[in-house]
Amino acid sequence: MKALPPRADDAIDGLYRIATVSSLTGIPVQTIRVWESRHAVVEPTRNAGNLRLYRRADIERLSLVKAAVDAGHAISTVASLTDRQIKARFKDAPVRVAKARQAGCRVLVCGAALAGVLKTAWQARSDVRVQGVLSEVPAAELDSLPSVDAVIADVSVVSNALPAALRQMRAATKAPVVIVVYGFANRQALARLDAANVIALAAPTDPAQLARICQLGLAIDPTPPTAFSQRLMHSAAPRRYADAFLRQLGQMPSKVQCECPNHLADLLAKLNAFERYSLECESTNIKDAAMHAMMYSASGHCREFLEEVLRRLMAHEGIPEPRAQRS
């Protein structure tokens, strides 16, 4: 939870106005009012002007309840519990999620060179930051690793031992997202990473893309995992068709009366544009950044699926694959 502001205009005799509470907890003002009236989550005092005023304990409880709700628990279930019961029932997960969302996505980077690039690229961002740097993926002394939201490992070659090492790092750091940026890897090595639920990206990578993927750790509750969240945690394949080819295909005369290749090419072009938009779209807070990360990953998987449909449709109509297949 954010440190309480010391400014006198934010607090009245140690009590805080609802706008300040909303800013500190990330809960909209209207939601706070609904939680009070319908669920009695907190009971603020009121001054002579009937203004709601909240204690420090109220702010801490609201933050705890919000974290449990963000983790997927119903407000009707959480509201009747004491703070101690919430912590005992949901263990450390709600508190960890709340701290992560307010502080930004915390990333542990294995590889000093990549860490330097990311620190420079992310220095003006508040939604993601390099929490720690290791020279390489550690094989021992994992107990000293910090808890983070994502791990990025920069390797020149994907070795046979890497998936197991990354599994151990995931367990030690409690990171929902683990990414490998690699220089070389064969199909078998990439398949082993995929089986370990590790996202593999060929170098060089875009720092903005890495930030979005890291933020999936804040957007998706990994416990219990769902088929949807597990799918999003895997990176979509690189684009198969460049924008120029899709424009050309969209205008090409079709042998099929319904002009499916033209329509599919147009749809893919729009989906590509939305994928880029989700990557570059500015976020006003950590929760927005996490949602954009989820949309970026989901649009990439939709694009990959439709590209395969287009490939088969082109083969059916005898349309040759373009020489340059990557945009």
Residues 126 and 196 in one domain: yes
- Sequence length of the chain is 327
SS3 annotation, 153-219: EEEEECCCCHHHHHHHHHHHHCCCEEEEEEEECCHHHHHHHHHCCCEEEECCCCHHHHHHHHCHHHH
Residue finishing a domain among 91, 119, 149: 91
Higher pLDDT, 1 or 82: 82
Residues 206 and 124 in one domain: yes
Residue finishing a domain among 91, 114, 148: 91
Higher pLDDT, 111 or 318: 111
Residues 213 and 275 in one domain: no
Percent of the chain with pLDDT over 90: 10
The tokens of 101 are what? 């969302």
Question: Which band of pLDDT confidence, cut at 50, 70 and 90, is reported for residue 2?
Answer: very low
Report how far residue 199's alpha carbon sits from residue 195's, in angstroms, rounded to the nearest whole number: 10
In terms of residue numbers, what domain contains 135? 104-217
Tell me the per-residue pLDDT of 133-147, one tens digit each, with 9 for 90 and over. 998 888 766 777 888
Q: Across-strand partners of 182?
A: 155, 202
Asked if residue 52 belongs to a domain, the reply is: yes
Asked if residue 99 belongs to a domain, the reply is: no
Q: The domain spanning residue 36 has which CATH number?
A: 1.10.1660.10
SS3 25: helix
Q: The domain spanning residue 177 has which CATH number?
A: 3.40.50.2300
Residues 75 and 124 in one domain: no
Per-residue pLDDT, 208: 87
Residues 116 and 206 in one domain: yes
Residues 247 and 284 in one domain: yes
The answer to whether 297 and 217 have CB atoms below 8 angstroms apart is no
Of 156, 205, 206, 165, nearest to 185 (Cα)? Answer: 156
Residue finishing a domain among 91, 115, 140: 91
Q: Is the pLDDT of residue 97 over 50?
A: no
Does pTM top 0.85 for this prediction?
Answer: no
Asked if residue 324 belongs to a domain, the reply is: no
Bridge-based pairing of strands 15-16 and 128-134 is: unpaired
Asked if residue 152 belongs to a domain, the reply is: yes
Asked if residue 140 belongs to a domain, the reply is: yes
Asked if residue 228 belongs to a domain, the reply is: no
Per-residue pLDDT, 5: 40
Report how far residue 214's alpha carbon sits from residue 300's, in angstroms, rounded to the nearest whole number: 15
Tell me the per-residue pLDDT of 33-52, one tens digit each, with 9 for 90 and over. 888 888 889 998 888 777 88
Of 110, 148, 159, 108, nearest to 130 (Cα)? Answer: 108
Report, as an integer, the average pLDDT of 154-161. 91
Tell me the per-residue pLDDT of 271-296, one tens digit each, with 9 for 90 and over. 888 887 776 665 555 566 667 777 87
Question: Which band of pLDDT confidence, cut at 50, 70 and 90, is reported for residue 152?
Answer: very high
The overall longest dimension of the chain from CA atoms, in Å, is 79
**Minimum mean pLDDT range among 7-16, 78-87, 151-160, 281-290:** 7-16
Higher pLDDT, 119 or 49: 119
Tell me the per-residue pLDDT of 198-209, one tens digit each, with 9 for 90 and over. 888 888 888 988
Report, as an integer, the average pLDDT of 309-315. 88
Q: What angle do CA 218, 304, 284 make, to 5 degrees?
A: 30
Domain total in the chain: 3
The tokens of 56 are what? 């420090």
| CA distances for 239 relative to 32, 280, 303, angstroms | 43, 17, 8
| CA distances for 76 relative to 21, 72, 81, 94, 168, angstroms | 21, 12, 10, 16, 37
Residues 256 and 195 in one domain: no
